[in-house]
Amino acid sequence: MNCYDCATQDRLTRPAVGICHDCGAGVCVDHSHRDVRWLTRTALINRVETIDPPERIIRCGICAAAHEAAAHPADHRVGTHR
């Protein structure tokens, strides 16, 4: 499988080293974005514990940007012109 972003940007195709967690596109090292997500579990008396190590998440550039925009909605308001 080749990197989807390399193929759509008319660049030399590169082999994919991962699959986007959100959309499933193949991504090369240059186009991959690494993130972590801490998993939790409920222990006795409804106490939430963090599980170590964190889960690794690989995303393509588009999904990483969308995820970042969703995390900071005030910075990416629709219809706002500066």
pTM attached to this predicted model: 0.70
pLDDT band at 31 (very low <50, low <70, confident <90, very high): very high
pLDDT of the residue at 28: 94
pLDDT of the residue at 78: 56
Which residues, other chains included, contact 3 with Cβ-Cβ below 8 Å and sequence gap of 6+? 13, 14, 15, 16, 26, 27, 28, 30, 31
